[in-house]
């Protein structure tokens, strides 16, 4: 399987401090998303849990991105690690979050291609 055939999912799971989820999501989409798209990620979906903006409690935000192939995932990842704007965004974001986690995954059918970063 060609590594460019694998669909890789990059998922940000963030718990926002009480009352701040709507503003945080707007900032994420304004400050982080354009750079992610420029690095080759495609926005898959944005989910808010529970499905109502909370003022006295925390909302969880799940933002799912996709990228085709392990090579493209590594490339965008390396670009992000050396981008001062990305580093500044996450430093600022951490002040508004109670927790965050990023996972990177693919379907079992794509495992062989996703792991082959050398290509054929």
CATH number at residue 68: 3.30.70.100
Q: With 60 as the cut, is the pLDDT of residue 80 above it? A: yes
pLDDT by residue (tens digit) across 93-120?
A: 999 999 999 999 999 988 775 555 554 3
Q: How many distinct structural domains can be found in the chain?
A: 1
Host domain of residue 11: 3-105
- In tens, the pLDDT along 29-45 reads 999 999 999 999 999 99
* CB burial readout 32-49, b (16+ within 10 A) else e: bbebbeebbbeeeeeebe
Residue 57 has pLDDT above 50, yes or no: yes
Helix (H, G, I), strand (E, B), or coil: what is residue 67? strand
**111 falls within a domain:** no
Kindly report the pTM of this predicted structure: 0.86
């Amino acid at each position: 399987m060609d590594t460019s055939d694998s669909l890789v999912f990059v998922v940000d799971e963030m718990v926002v401090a009480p009352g701040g989820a709507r503003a945080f999501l707007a900032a994420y989409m304004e400050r982080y998303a354009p750079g992610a798209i420029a690095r080759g990620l495609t926005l898959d979906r944005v989910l808010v849990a529970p499905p109502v903006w909370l003022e006295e409690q925390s909302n969880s935000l799940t933002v799912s991105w996709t990228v085709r192939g392990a090579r493209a995932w590594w490339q965008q990842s390396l670009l992000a690690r050396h981008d001062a704007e990305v580093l500044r965004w996450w430093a600022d974001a951490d002040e508004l979050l109670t927790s965050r986690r990023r996972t990177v995954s693919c379907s079992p059918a794509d495992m062989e291609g996703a792991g082959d970063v050398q290509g054929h």
